Amino acid sequence: MLARRVVVLIYGRAIAFGLSLAIPIALTRLLLKEEYGTYQQLVLVYVSIQALLLLGTPQSLQYFFPRMETAERPQLIRQTWGLLGLASLFIILFFWAAQEILEVWQHNHPLKQYLLLLGVYTGLMMLAAPFQNLLVLEDRTVAAMWITIGFSLLDLVVLPLAAWLNPSAMGMVHGILVAATIKALIVLIYIFLRYLRHGVSGEAFMRKQLAYGIPVGLTALVYVINFNIDKYLVSLFFSTSIFAVYYIGSLWAPVFGWITFSASQVVTPRMSAAHKEGRLSEMERLYGESVRNLALVFLPFTVVLAVIAQPLIISLFTADYAAAVPVFMIYLLLLPSRPFSLGWVLMASGQTRFLFKLAVLMAITNAFLSYTLLVTLEGDMRLLGIPIATVTVTWLSTIFVTRQTAWTLKIPFARLCPWRAIGTTTLVSLLAGAPAASLWVLDDYYDIGLKNEMLLGSCLVVYSLVFLWLASRLGVLDIRNRKFLQILWPF
């Protein structure tokens, strides 16, 4: 049942990812590189600020909601969206003040015209941010899936239309404002009808919620900064056209975070409940199963994406973005860390301060290493040194998280993960990549001249068939098991 809920969310985010992927595909064809780069820089500002001002509300919902009685939950919802409303008002006023200051001191600053609109967009999106978490906590997993898909479909319709009507960064800002307004209205109407229209009773516990949420919010901010330090540096030291190319190369690894996020929305509340009752063995079981299942996703993804990197980038974003392939290949090294970097046990046990301190340490390390490589390397390696630093620091953080998880569960590190199953999955993934990669090598060596789209499709088909056959033979997957098929199609 637990695995099926996770798969439902993964299906939803996989479809949403496919829809969202169509947006940069369209925008790279509708906008000049400079305009697309400016738009992505604005999005980077939004992502960084939202992480702080959410005040850890999505995570605090996951922590408090399963611990509360049904009658107590409307108070939690009122507090949560009340905090988000105040934070939204603050960010709008802050961006308005920043725009007025620039008007006086730097009248020709390129970002001045966007600031107020970006503040309104950030405020609206903050009101919608915890909605999917709430639906999952209500055991409305399928509804959460459809909301995820619906919001992505809305973006897919509105954003390319905005770029077509006004092919500029300002046109894109108007587009995201329209989409954000619709999303915020949907969420607020749902919250009011389900929780607030009959009034709210019970004692407020805002201080307790903030005590949990603020460290989480600060941790999220530091994680966002840590994960985007590369983009900050590229934005500062390179042109907007190079930033656009770099963004395409760095797009993939963080995007696949929707897989772990989907699992987290289901597993973390259950870990929180188990921790409250002192059932560490149940937390260990949930963690081990999660790592094994996520490794079964991320390890094959890593290999197949490495094989199809060049035809994939060129097919989706045109040859103008072929320079993104080396950045893309470096960032693929993040994917194998995903199953092991789960901080769910630490979140469920309330160790938010540990996560915050670790995030700060890793952010400082990442900034120092990235800048050092930027100023010491030469030529194209100046740009590539930045993602190398990010990947290195991420793996270092993963080691700290896994060791702290083992200490929390009071088990030896060797027992923390199903290492044998993970090793077998790694072997199967690599072996399946060999025949798929041979298609690329043969096409290049004999100058067959297959189109990128044809080569891409052929590699995917060959890899999938070989992987499924080897996985079945070596016991990684039992594709004939009815339960396995029910998990893959849980509807």
From first to last of its 491 residues, the chain has per-residue pLDDT tens of 555 666 666 667 777 777 777 888 888 888 887 888 888 888 888 877 877 777 777 777 877 887 777 777 888 888 889 888 998 999 999 989 988 887 777 767 667 788 889 999 999 999 998 898 888 888 888 888 888 889 989 999 999 999 999 998 899 999 999 999 999 999 999 999 988 887 777 677 778 877 777 777 777 777 777 777 888 888 888 888 888 888 888 877 656 666 777 677 677 778 888 888 888 888 888 888 888 888 888 899 899 888 888 888 888 888 888 889 999 999 999 888 888 877 878 878 878 788 878 888 888 898 899 999 988 988 778 889 989 998 999 899 999 999 998 998 888 988 888 888 899 999 999 999 888 888 777 766 555 555 667 777 888 888 889 988 888 888 777 655 445 444 444 44
Please tell me the distance from the alpha carbon of residue 290 to that of residue 293, in angstroms, as a whole number.
Answer: 5
Q: Identify the pLDDT of residue 489.
A: 45
Say what the alpha-carbon torsion angle 203, 207, 213, 214 is, to the nearest 10 degrees. Answer: 160
Q: Identify the pLDDT of residue 456.
A: 78
Instruction: Say if CB 130 and CB 83 are below 8 A apart.
Output: no
Residue for token digits 């941010």?
129
Q: Identify the pLDDT of residue 326.
A: 92
Please tell me the distance from the alpha carbon of residue 249 to that of residue 380, in angstroms, as a whole number.
Answer: 14
Q: Identify the pLDDT of residue 9.
A: 64
Give the per-residue SS3 of 11-23. HHHHHHHHHHHHH
Residue for token digits 């160790």?
351
Please tell me the distance from the alpha carbon of residue 323 to that of residue 315, in angstroms, as a whole number.
Answer: 13
Please tell me the distance from the alpha carbon of residue 58 to that of residue 247, in angstroms, as a whole number.
Answer: 27
Please tell me the distance from the alpha carbon of residue 60 to that of residue 350, in angstroms, as a whole number.
Answer: 10
pTM metric for this prediction: 0.71
State the angle between helix axes of 33-53 and 169-191 in degrees (0 to 180), rounded to the nearest 10: 30
Closest CA to 297 of 262, 264, 336, 332: 336
Please tell me the distance from the alpha carbon of residue 333 to that of residue 477, in angstroms, as a whole number.
Answer: 24
Length in residues, the chain: 491
Please tell me the distance from the alpha carbon of residue 121 to that of residue 98, in angstroms, as a whole number.
Answer: 15
| Token pair of 191 as six digits | 């919250």
